[in-house]
Amino acid sequence: MANERTGVVIDRGDITSVEILDNRPAGSRVYLEIDLPEPTPTLADELRALPVVRRVELVKTFQAIYGKRIIIIGGGAQVGQVAIGAISEADRHNIRGEHISVDTIPLVGEQPLADAVRAVARLPRASVLVLAGALMGGAIEAAVREVRAQRLLVISLNMAGSVPDASDLVVTDPVQAGVMAVMAVAETATFNLERLKRRTF
């Protein structure tokens, strides 16, 4: 059944995101984001015509609604302070037409943090990772270097451990770290990391 559904799409464009919203014996709900090189008004009708499809609904993509994602990981107190800066700055840009969302997860422990860092590279629309903590290194540093190699921007608080050495940018004030994370990806900002003459603030 999946081949029959996706075959109709593949003839028109590329499936860029798939999520199974509900999967029960009576039926499933599948969310697809499709990149169409040119408008194809008949695609929805062709999907509706398939015997395995009960309903097709056209909705705005997550990119259009939630936009770029700032992911903040680390100790609870620091995560909260970074979030204050990121949310306040995102609001300033979003009222001017941007779409930037902020996600947080307080975590402790070297391996859980390293796993979470690596998982960010698999998250759709993740643009910046902010590591907020007092001490991070070892496996977390290795994970940071891996995700940076996958072109994920990593900002670290100025903390003990080797993670700051592995990050793109190091910021001492957690609120400012959140602000700079948003400014780094906002199209309505003039901030450009490549023009900075130093990495630590």
Least confident of 12-16, 143-147, 172-176: 12-16
pLDDT above 60: residue 190: yes
Q: Is 51 helix (H, G, I), strand (E, B) or coil?
A: coil
Q: How far apart are CA 183 and CA 193, in angstroms?
A: 9
pLDDT above 50: residue 1: no
Contacts of 5 by beta carbon, 8 Å cutoff, 6+ apart: 30, 47, 50, 52, 53
Q: Does domain 64-195 have CATH number 1.20.840.10?
A: no
Residue 9: the pLDDT is 66
Contacts of 183 by beta carbon, 8 Å cutoff, 6+ apart: 89, 189, 191
66 or 13: which leads in pLDDT: 66
Residue 30: the pLDDT is 80
Residue 46: the pLDDT is 77
Least Cα distance to 158 among 182, 178, 134 occurs for 134
- % of the chain with per-residue pLDDT over 90: 50
**Half-sphere exposure of residue 71: CA atoms within 13 angstroms, side-chain side:** 22
DSSP assignment of 76-87 = HHHHHHHHHHHH
- For residue 108, CA distances in Å to 36, 42, 113, 123, 140 come to 42, 50, 7, 20, 11
User: pLDDT tens for residues 124-160?
Assistant: 889 999 999 889 999 999 999 999 999 999 999 999 9
Query: Stretch 87-100: mean pLDDT, rounded?
Result: 92
Average pLDDT over the chain, rounded to an integer:
85
Contacts of 101 by beta carbon, 8 Å cutoff, 6+ apart: 66, 67, 68, 69, 70, 90
Phi, psi (rounded to 5 degrees) for 93: -85, -35
> Which H or E run includes 140?
helix 139-149
User: pLDDT tens for residues 21-73?
Assistant: 777 777 788 887 877 777 777 777 777 888 888 888 888 877 777 789 999 99
Least Cα distance to 148 among 132, 171, 164 occurs for 164
Q: Is 134 helix (H, G, I), strand (E, B) or coil?
A: coil
pLDDT band at 3 (very low <50, low <70, confident <90, very high): very low
Listed by start position, the domains of the chain span 2-59, 64-195
pLDDT band at 6 (very low <50, low <70, confident <90, very high): low
pLDDT above 70: residue 2: no
